[in-house]
Amino acid sequence: MSADNIVLIVILGVLALFLLYLWMSYNRLVSLRQRVKESWSDIDVQLKRRASLVPNLVETVKGYAAHEREVFENVTKARAALMSAGSPQQAAQADNILSGALKTLFAVAEAYPQLKANENFKQLQSELFDLEAKIAYARQFYNTNVRDLNSSIQSFPAVLIARNFGFKEEVYFETEEAARADVTVKFTS
Amino acid sequence: MSQSSSHPSSLNIYTAIEANRRRTLILTASLVLFAGALVEVIGLALGLPAITAAIVAGIATVIALLVALGTYRSGDALVLSVSEAQATEREQYPDLYRTVENLCIGAGLPMPKIYVINDGAPNAFATGRDPKHASIAVTSGLIEKMSNLELEGVIGHELSHIGNHDTRLMLIIAVMVGWVAIVVDVFLRFTWYGAGARRRYQGRGENAGGAVLLLLAVVAAVIAPLVAWVIQMSISRQREYLADASSALLTRYPEGLASALEKIAGDKDPLDVSTKGTAHLWIAEPFKGQKSAFNALFDTHPPIQDRILRLRAMEA
C-alpha cells in the first residue's frame, strides 16, 4: 500500500467521524428542543386549568362579598393577562401577578365565615392550591429542559452546529420567586 | 459526554439510563449462560454422559431465556403480588395521589399505578419495565407515619428509580435471583439423592472422578446464590445514592427524604412481606434486627446513616 493510499484512508476516516459527530449532535439538539416544547405544553395545560377556575371563584366570592370590587378586578385583570401572554416570560409574570391577586382574594375571604363554609368555595380553593403546586413542578421540569438545551447550544463545538441549523436558546419560565437559590446536589457514585 | 460538567443532574440521569440498559443486557446474558453452565456441571456430577448433559444444559439455557423474557413482560405483577400489594383508586388516597401526580409533573414522567401494602413498617418500592408501565407500592405504615414533605422525599426517590430505568434492572434481578435460588435448591437435593443412588449401585472403587465432580457441583451450588447476591448488592448501592440525589433535586428539599429515612431506620416494625429476592427493591433495607456480619456482606443498600449524611450535606 502506498503512502498516498494511507493518507486518503486517514482523510476519509476523519471525514466520516466528523459527519458522524455532526449527525449525533444534530439529533441531540433536536431531542432537547423537543423536550423543551413538550414541557412547555405541560405548563400551559396547568395554567389554562387554573385560569378556567378563576371566573367560577370570582362568582362564588361575589355572592358573599360583592363590595370587594377592587379585588375582583385585580384577579380578572391578571387572568386576562395570563390568557394573552405570548412568551414564557410574560406568562410567568402574569402567573405571578395572578398568584398575588388570588392570595389577596383568599385573605379577604377570611373575613366572611359563610363564604369560608361554602362547599364550592372550599373545593375551588383546594383545587387552586393544588394547581399552584403543579405549576411550580411543571416550571421546574421546563426550566431543567431549557437549561439542558441552552447549555448544549452554548458549548463548543455544538455551538457551530446550533448556529448553522437555527437552534435558538429558549427562555426560562421564571418569576421572582424562582430566583431563590437552587439546591446544590452533588452526585457521587 | 463533553458538555457542561456544571450541570450534572440531567447528564447523570441520561448516563444512568444508558448504563442501566447495558447492565440489564449483561446481567441477563450472564445469568442465562450461568444457568446453562450450572446445569452442565451438575449434570456431569450426576454421572450423565457429556452429550446428554450438554443437551440438558442447552434446554436449561433456553428455559432461562424464556424466563428472562417473561420477567421483562410480567415481572412487575409478580413482584407486586409477592409483596401483597393492593391496587388503589384515587378516591382512597387523594393526598398520596396528589403528591405522586405533582412530582411526576416535575420529573416529566407519566403517572404510575399506585399500590398500597398493608404493613406497619414504613417502606416503599417502585417496579415496572419502563416509565409507561411503572408502579409504585407504599406500605400503609409509610402513609401513616410520614409527614407530607417526608412522603414527597420518598416518592421522589421512587420516581427517580422509574425515570432512571432502574426498575427494569431491579425487576430482572428480583426474578432471576429468585430463579437461581430455586434451581440451585432443586439440584442440590437431586445431587444428594443421585450420589446416594450411584454409590449404592456402583460400589466404591471407581467413584473418585464422580466425587470430584460432585464436590464441584456442591461448590457451584453454594457459590451461585452468593454470586447472584453480590451482583445484586453492587449495582443496587450506587443506584440508591443516585436516586436519593435525584429526589432531592426534584423536591428541592433534601431534608424531607433525610428525615423520612431517619424515621424508617428508627422504626421497630419489621417488614413482613419482603423476601431475599425483593429486598433490593425497597427504599431502605427491609430486614431489621436480624443482621450478622455475613448479612452485612450482602447488603442491598448503603448504610442509611450515610445516605442521611449525604442528603444533609446537600443543603449547605
pLDDT of residue B179: 67
Residue B291 pLDDT exceeds 70: no
**Pairing of β B85-87 and β B134-139:** unpaired
Strands (DSSP E) contained in B180-243 are none
pLDDT of residue B284: 81
**Type and span of the H or E element at B193:** helix B166-202
The answer for residues whose C-beta is within 8 angstroms of residue A171's C-beta and 6 or more apart is A87, A88, A89, A146
Q: Does a structural domain hold residue A13? A: no
CA angle B71, B77, B82 (to 5 degrees): 100
What is chain B's Cα-based Rg?
22
**Pairing of β B113-117 and β B85-87:** antiparallel
* CB neighbours of residue A155 within 10 Å: 13
A35: chain B residues, CB-CB within 8 Å? 108
Residue B189 pLDDT exceeds 70: no
What is the pLDDT averaged over residues B65-90?
85
Q: How many domains does chain A have?
A: 1
Cα distance between the two ends of chain A: 48
Residue B268 pLDDT exceeds 50: yes
What is the pLDDT averaged over residues A111-118?
88
Reported as a single tens digit per residue, the pLDDT across B29-39 is 877 787 777 77
A155: closest chain B residue by CA: B3
Q: Which residue has the higher pLDDT, A126 or B194?
A: A126
B233 - beta bridge partners?
none
If you count residue pairs, one on A and one on B, with CB atoms under 8 Å apart, how many are there?
Answer: 74
pLDDT averaged over chain A? 85
**Cell matching residue B41:** 456441571
CB B163 within 8 A of CB B304: no
Nearest beta carbon to residue B108 from set A141, A186, A188: A141
B102: chain A residues, CB-CB within 8 Å? 130, 133-134, 137
Residue A63 pLDDT exceeds 50: yes
pLDDT averaged over chain B? 77
Q: What DSSP letter does each residue of B84-149 carry, written as one string?
A: TEEE--TTT-HHHHHHHHHHHHHHT-PPPEEEEE--SS--EEEEESSGGGEEEEEEHHHHHH--HH
Q: Does a structural domain hold residue A4? A: no
Residue B261 pLDDT exceeds 90: yes
| Percent with pLDDT over 70 in chain B | 69
pLDDT of residue B31: 72
What is the pLDDT averaged over residues A112-141?
89
CB B12 within 8 A of CB A187: yes
pLDDT of residue B224: 64
The reply to whether residue B252 touches residue A137, judged by beta carbons under 8 angstroms, is: no
Interface test with B, best of A24, A185, A186, A188 (most B CBs within 10 A): A185
Q: Which residue has the higher pLDDT, A118 or A156?
A: A118
CB B97 within 8 A of CB B87: no
Residue B13 pLDDT exceeds 70: no
Q: Quickly state the pLDDT bin for A162 (edges 50, 70, 90).
A: confident
**Cell matching residue A87:** 412568551
Q: Which residue has the higher pLDDT, A128 or B216?
A: A128
Peptide bond into A157 cis (omega under 30): yes
Residues of B forming the active site = 158
> What gap in Å lies between CA A50 and CA A53, rounded to an integer?
5
Q: Does a structural domain hold residue A166? A: yes
What is the pLDDT averaged over residues B71-96?
88
Q: Quickly state the pLDDT bin for A184 (edges 50, 70, 90).
A: very low
pLDDT of residue B213: 65
The answer for residues whose C-beta is within 8 angstroms of residue B7's C-beta and 6 or more apart is A147, A148, A151
> What gap in Å lies between CA B278 and CA B284, rounded to an integer?
12
The reply to whether residue B107 touches residue A185, judged by beta carbons under 8 angstroms, is: no
Q: Quickly state the pLDDT bin for B178 (edges 50, 70, 90).
A: low
pLDDT of residue B58: 86
Residue A84 pLDDT exceeds 70: yes
Reported as a single tens digit per residue, the pLDDT across B115-165 is 999 998 999 999 998 899 999 999 999 999 999 999 999 999 999 999 988
| Torsion over CA: B188, B192, B195, B198 (sign) | negative
CB B264 within 8 A of CB B68: no
pLDDT of residue B136: 96
> What gap in Å lies between CA B41 and CA B32, rounded to an integer?
15
The reply to whether residue B313 touches residue A186, judged by beta carbons under 8 angstroms, is: yes
* Partner A, chain B 227-286, Cβ-Cβ below 8 Å: 238, 241-242, 245, 248-250, 252-254
Q: Which of A108, A83, A107 is nearest to A95 (CA)?
A: A83
Q: Does a structural domain hold residue A10? A: no
Sheet harboring B85-87: ordered strands across?
B85-87, B113-117, B134-139, B124-128
pLDDT of residue A13: 93
B115 - beta bridge partners?
B87, B137
The reply to whether residue A183 touches residue B238, judged by beta carbons under 8 angstroms, is: no
Q: Which residue has the cell 417526608?
A: B150
Q: How far is CA B131 from CA A138, B134, B257, B278, in A?
A: 18, 5, 22, 20
Please report, as a single letter, which amino acid is at residue A186: K
Q: Please tell me the least confidently modeled range out of B204-208, B278-282, B304-308.
A: B204-208
**Cell matching residue B257:** 427524604
Whether residue B309 lies within 8 A of chain A, CB to CB, comes out as no
Q: Which residue has the higher pLDDT, B75 or B145?
A: B145
pLDDT of residue A172: 86
> What gap in Å lies between CA B243 and CA B236, rounded to an integer?
11
Q: Which residue has the higher pLDDT, A10 or B218?
A: A10
If you count DSSP H runs as helices and E runs as strands, how many of each does chain A have, helices first?
6, 0
Q: Please tell me the least confidently modeled range out of A147-151, A156-160, B8-12.
A: B8-12
Domain that holds residue A52: 24-179
Q: Does a structural domain hold residue A9? A: no
Q: Under DSSP, is residue B47 helix (H, G, I), strand (E, B) or coil?
A: coil
CATH number at residue A162: 1.20.1440.20
Interface test with B, best of A27, A43, A143, A187 (most B CBs within 10 A): A187
Residue A188 pLDDT exceeds 60: no
pLDDT of residue B225: 63
Q: Does a structural domain hold residue A74? A: yes
> What gap in Å lies between CA B112 and CA B126, rounded to an integer?
9
Q: Which residue has the cell 449547605?
A: B316
CA angle A141, A146, A148 (to 5 degrees): 95
Residue A189 pLDDT exceeds 50: no
**Pairing of β B124-128 and β B134-139:** antiparallel
Reported as a single tens digit per residue, the pLDDT across B195-254 is 555 555 554 444 555 666 666 666 666 666 666 665 665 566 777 888 898 899 888 889
**Type and span of the H or E element at A43:** helix A3-62
What is the pLDDT averaged over residues A146-164?
84
What is chain A's Cα-based Rg?
25
| Percent with pLDDT over 90 in chain A | 17
CB B199 within 8 A of CB B46: no
Q: Quickly state the pLDDT bin for A182 (edges 50, 70, 90).
A: very low
